[in-house]
Structure 1
Amino acid sequence: MRRLLRHPVRLVPFGFLVTILLGTGLLMLPWTTSQHQYTPFLTALFTATSAVSVTGMSVVDTPNYWNEFGLLMITVLTQVGGIGIVTGATMVILVVARRLGLRSRLLVQAETAEFGIGDLRRLLLRIAGLALVCESIITVVMTARLWLTYDYPFARALWISVFHAVQAFNNGGFALYTESLIGFSTDAWVIVPLAIGTVVGGLGFPALFEAAREWRRPSRWGVATKLTVWGSLTLLVAGFLGMLVIEWANPRTLGIYAWHDKLLVAFAQDAFIRTGGFNVVDVEGLEEESYPLVIALMFIGGGSASTAGGIKVTTFFLLAFVIWAELRGEPDVTVGHRRVATASQRQAVTVALLSVALVACGTVLLILLTEGVPLYAALFEVTSALTTTGLSVGVAASLPESGQFALIVLMFVGRIGPLTLGSAIALNTRRRLYRYPEEQPIVG
C-alpha cells in the first residue's frame, strides 16, 4: 500500500476494480432480480462494470430483470463511478476528519485532473453541491411531470425520476423502460432536463467552475476551459444539424414526427449521443450515413475531469490546433493568445492514438470472437463501450461470453482512461540528467 501511495494514480484503476468486484458480488445475490434467482457471474460483472464505468450498456432487459433492490445497487454504483471512487472516499475523509492530508489530496488530483492541490477542499464541496443541485432539479421537474400528467403514483414517479436523474448527470444511460426514453421523445418536460443534466455532467468540473466564476469575461478563461466550453458547443450544434439533415425523412427515426418535434428529438438525441447513453429514437433504425457521425461524437466524448468518457473535447480540439499550427508552419501551438505546453500536446497525441488503437483492436477482436457481426455493428459497440457511452445496435446481448468479456475490459479501460492506465502500469518518475543530440527524421 505504501508503494501504491507513492504514486496515487495507481490507485485509480485499483479503486474502480474493487468497486466493480463488490458490485458484481451484490448483483449476483438472488434478492436483486425479479425472479429471485442467482445472477450468472458474467452478467453481474457486465452490469457492475457498466454501472461503475457509467456506460449504461446491458446484456439483459434492465427494468424487467432487476428488482428495486438491484436497480438501487445500479444507481449507487453509477453515482460512485460518476463522481469517482477516490473523490468519494476523500469526501468521506473531509466530513469525518474536517481536514485533508497531502496524500488524500494527491489521490483526488489523480482522479479529477485538477490543476492544483491547494483548492481540493473547495473543489470537493463544489462537486458534491453541483451533483446534488443538478440531480435534485431534474428529479423535481420529472416527478411533477410523471405524477401530474401521466398519473404515476407519487412514490413511483419519485423513484423513476431519481434513477434517471442520477443516470443523466453521471452520463450513465441505464433506463427503467425497455425502449429507453423513446416513449417520452416528444415530452420536453422529461427529456430536456435529462439532456441538460447530461451536458452539464459531461462538461467537466474544472471547466464548469471556471466558466461560472468568469462568465462575464470569457476572455479570461484558461485554455482548457475555452476548448471544453466552445468545443462542446460546436459539437452540439454540428451533431444537431447532422442529425436533422440525415434523419429528417427517415420513417424509423425523425420522419414520423412533426417539424417542431423533430427539432426537440434531434436536440435530445444529440445531447445523449456523446456519452449520455439514453436514446429517444431507435438507434438500430438510423440511416447508414448517421453511424459515422454518431461514432465520431462518441469517440470524442465530453470534457476532462467529467462524468463523460471518450478522448475528451479538449484532446480533440487541441489536436486540431496542433495540426493547424503545423500546416501554417508555426513554431508554437497557440490557443487564445496562450502557448500550449509541449507536454500537453504529447499527452493529447498519446490519448488519441491509444484510443484509436483500442477501437481498431477491439473491433477486430469482436469480429473474430463473434460470427456474423457486421463491421459497422462491431465498430459501433466497441466505440460505445470504450467511450462509456452505452448506445447499442442490439449486438451486446447476443454476444458470446468471450465477446461480452471483451466489452467489459473496454468499458473498464475507457472509464479510467488509456493514459491513466498506462501511467498506473508503467509509471516512471525518474528524470534523466542528460539529453541526446537532436535529429529531424523525414516524416511523411
Structure 2
Amino acid sequence: MVTKSRKLFQRIKINPPQFFALGFLVLIGLGTFLLMLPFATADRHHLSFVDALFEATSAVSVTGLVVADTKTTFTLFGQIVLLCLIQVGGLGFMTLTVFIALLLRRNITFEERHLVKESLNQDSYEGIVRMVRFVILFAVICELIGTVILGLHWGDRFGYPKSFYYGLFHSISAFNNAGFDIMGDFSSMTAFTGDITVNVTLTSLLILGGAGFIVIADLFQKVKTKKRITLHTKVVLWMTAILIIAGTAAIFVLEYNNPATIGNFSLKDKLLASYFHGVVPRTAGFNSLNTGDLSLGSQLVTMALMFIGGGTGGTAGGIKVTTFAILLLAVWALIKGRQEVNMSNRRLPLDLVFRAFSITTYSVLLVSVFVFLLSLTETGFGLNIIAFEVLSAFGTVGMSLGLTTELTEPGKMLLSILMFMGRVGPITIAFALAFRTKTTAVRNPEERIIIG
C-alpha cells in the first residue's frame, strides 16, 4: 500500500507534504482576497494587501497574531471569514473535504484516503473515514458546548443573542488554538482574569483541541472496548499534565509579587490567572494578563512553552510534546550509557529518535534565522521582544509583547512567512522524512568524529 501511494504521488509529481503546503497557500490566498473586500472592514476601506495577508495567514495557521483589532476593524462578514479560515486551518482542509464528500454520498478515493491518513498522522488506512467523522463530530460538539456555556454566561454582559455569537467565536477560536478574540482594543481575556467559567471553559477547549484527535479517539476507544491505550496517548497525557502544572507553578512563583500582573490579586485569582497563563502558550494565544508586564523569567517560561507546543494531529503548533519527550529520553539514555531509548517498557525505533532531533534542529534554526532577520527590520525593539514574537509566530501561539501592531511592512511579511512555516514546517519535515525513508543494501564504512 505504501509503495502504491508513493508511485501515485510520483506520477502526479507532488508528494503529500507539498500538497499540504500548497493547500494552505491556497487558503491563505483566498482569505487575503476576502479580507481585502470593502465590506469586510467596518470603515469600508479595504485592508492593505500586506495587512490582509498577515491576518489571513494568522487565521489559517491558527496563530492569533493580529495587526488590526478584530472587533473594531472587521464587519460581521470579515469576522465570519476569519472564523472559517480558523476552522479549516485547525481541522485541516483534507479532513473537511472528505467530510463534505461523505455528506454528498460520494465515494472516497484512494488518493483522498492517503492524504487524510498523512494529515492525521495515522499508521494505516483502516478506519480513516471513521476517523474523519469522529474528528468533525468531536470538534462540533466541543465548540457547541463552549458556545452554550459562554453564551449563557455572557448574556447579562453583552445581551442575547450577541452573547451566543461571542460564545461561538471564542469557542471555535479556542478549540482550534487560534487565539483570535472580539473583545476589542487587543484586550483578549484580560477583563475575565478572575472569571472561573470563562477561564475553565476556554482552557478546556484549548487542551482538548491541542491534545490531538488521535489521543481523543484512543481514549474513546479505551472507554468503549476497555483496551489498553497506546504509548502515544500516554506520552501526550503525561507531558500535557506536566507542562501545565510546571507552567502554572512557574508563573505563580515568578509573578506572585508583581503588582503589574497578579501581585495585587486574591489567592484564588492568582491561581486562576497562573493556570490560564500556564495553558495558553501551548498554543492558544489568549491572555488574561498583560504579557508586556510579565517579568523576564515569566517571558522565558512562556517562550519555552510556545516552542514545545501541543499534541501531534491536533490544532496546536510547536515541535509537539511527543518530540520533546523523545528528546528528553534520548538525552537520559545517553547519560545512562544505554544504546536504546525506552519508554514505558517499550523500545522506541531509532528512526523516530532521528526524526525528533531533525524536527527540533530545523525548528531551532528557523527561529534563529527569523530572530536575526527581524532584528534588522525592527530596530527599535529589544532582543527579548523580537524573540518572543518569533516564537509566538513559529509556535502558532498569537501572544505578543506589543511588537505585532508596530511591525514594519517587511516585518509583517517575515512573520507571515514564519506563521506559514510554523504551521506546515514541522509537519512537512516529519512527513517528508517518513515518505522518503528507504533501505539500501550498501553501507559506507564507519568512522568516528570527536564531539563534545
Which of the five TM-score ranges fits, normalised by the shorter chain?
over 0.9
Aligned residue number for residue 229 of structure 1: 237
Bigger shift: 387-396 or 97-106? 97-106
Matched, 1:403 2:401: no
Matched, 1:337 2:345: yes
Aligned residue number for residue 170 of structure 2: 164
Q: What is the one-letter code of the residue matched to 2:41?
A: T
Shift of residue 417, structure 1, vs aligned partner: 2.6
Pairing partner for 1:111 from 119, 123, 144: 119
Q: What is the one-letter code of the residue matched to 1:283?
A: T
Pairing partner for 2:259 from 248, 251, 266: 251
* 2: CA distance, partners of 1:419 / 1:16: 12
How high is the TM-score relative to the length of structure 2? 0.94
Task: Trace 1:342-421 onto structure 2 (pairs within 5 A).
Answer: 342-420=350-428
Shift of residue 271, structure 1, vs aligned partner: 1.4
* 2: CA distance, partners of 1:34 / 1:184: 26
| 8 Å contact kept, 1:311–1:355 | yes
Matched, 1:241 2:249: yes
User: Percent identity between the aligned chains?
Assistant: 36
| 8 Å contact kept, 2:40–2:75 | yes
Pairing partner for 1:83 from 82, 91, 115: 91
Shift of residue 419, structure 1, vs aligned partner: 5.0
Assess, with a 3 A threshold, how the Cα gap between structure 1 residues 333 and 426 changes in structure 2: closer, same or farther.
closer
* 1: CA distance, partners of 2:427 / 2:149: 38
Shift of residue 216, structure 1, vs aligned partner: 10
Shift of residue 63, structure 1, vs aligned partner: 1.0
Shift of residue 5, structure 1, vs aligned partner: 6.9
Aligned residue number for residue 120 of structure 1: 128
* 1: CA distance, partners of 2:146 / 2:346: 38
* 2: CA distance, partners of 1:218 / 1:97: 32
Task: Trace 1:195-274 onto structure 2 (pairs within 5 A).
Answer: 195-214=203-222, 220-274=228-282
Q: What is the one-letter code of the residue matched to 1:294?
A: T
Shift of residue 360, structure 1, vs aligned partner: 0.8
Q: What is the one-letter code of the residue matched to 2:323?
A: T
Shift of residue 269, structure 1, vs aligned partner: 1.8
* 2: CA distance, partners of 1:218 / 1:352: 35
SS in structure 1 of the partner of residue 29 of structure 2: helix
Aligned residue number for residue 155 of structure 1: 161
Pairing partner for 2:196 from 188, 199, 211: 188
Aligned residue number for residue 46 of structure 2: 38
Aligned residue number for residue 175 of structure 1: 181
Assess, with a 3 A threshold, how the Cα gap between structure 1 residues 3 and 25 changes in structure 2: closer, same or farther.
farther
SS in structure 2 of the partner of residue 372 of structure 1: coil
Assess, with a 3 A threshold, how the Cα gap between structure 1 residues 376 and 215 changes in structure 2: closer, same or farther.
farther
Matched, 1:136 2:147: no
| 8 Å contact kept, 1:350–1:419 | no
Matched, 1:308 2:316: yes
Task: Trace 1:6-21 onto structure 2 (pairs within 5 A).
Answer: 7-21=15-29
Q: What is the one-letter code of the residue matched to 2:180?
A: F
Provide Cα deviations, 1:333-365, integer angstroms capped at 9, x if missing partner: 111111101111111001101101111111011
| 8 Å contact kept, 1:10–1:425 | no
Aligned residue number for residue 291 of structure 1: 299
Assess, with a 3 A threshold, how the Cα gap between structure 1 residues 235 and 400 changes in structure 2: closer, same or farther.
same
SS in structure 2 of the partner of residue 273 of structure 1: coil
SS in structure 2 of the partner of residue 261 of structure 1: helix
Q: What is the one-letter code of the residue matched to 2:102?
A: L
Bigger shift: 221-230 or 92-101? 92-101
- Name stretches of at least 5 consecutive residues in structure 2 with no aligned partner: 1-8
| 8 Å contact kept, 2:355–2:430 | no
Q: What is the one-letter code of the residue matched to 2:412?
A: Q
SS in structure 1 of the partner of residue 339 of structure 2: coil
Shift of residue 424, structure 1, vs aligned partner: 5.9
* 2: CA distance, partners of 1:240 / 1:170: 22
* 1: CA distance, partners of 2:65 / 2:401: 11
* 2: CA distance, partners of 1:415 / 1:100: 26
SS in structure 1 of the partner of residue 64 of structure 2: coil
Matched, 1:59 2:73: no
SS in structure 2 of the partner of residue 220 of structure 1: coil
Provide Cα deviations, 1:133-162, integer angstroms capped at 9, x if missing partner: 110111000010111x42x22121111110
SS in structure 2 of the partner of residue 256 of structure 1: coil
- Name stretches of at least 5 consecutive residues in structure 1 with no aligned partner: none
Bigger shift: 165-174 or 217-226? 217-226
Q: Number of aligned residue pairs: give it.
A: 442
Shift of residue 128, structure 1, vs aligned partner: 0.6
Assess, with a 3 A threshold, how the Cα gap between structure 1 residues 268 and 217 changes in structure 2: closer, same or farther.
farther
SS in structure 1 of the partner of residue 444 of structure 2: coil
* 2: CA distance, partners of 1:153 / 1:419: 42
Shift of residue 86, structure 1, vs aligned partner: 1.5
* 2: CA distance, partners of 1:269 / 1:408: 25
Shift of residue 94, structure 1, vs aligned partner: 2.3
Cα root mean square deviation, aligned: 2.0
| 8 Å contact kept, 1:211–1:218 | no
Shift of residue 275, structure 1, vs aligned partner: 0.5
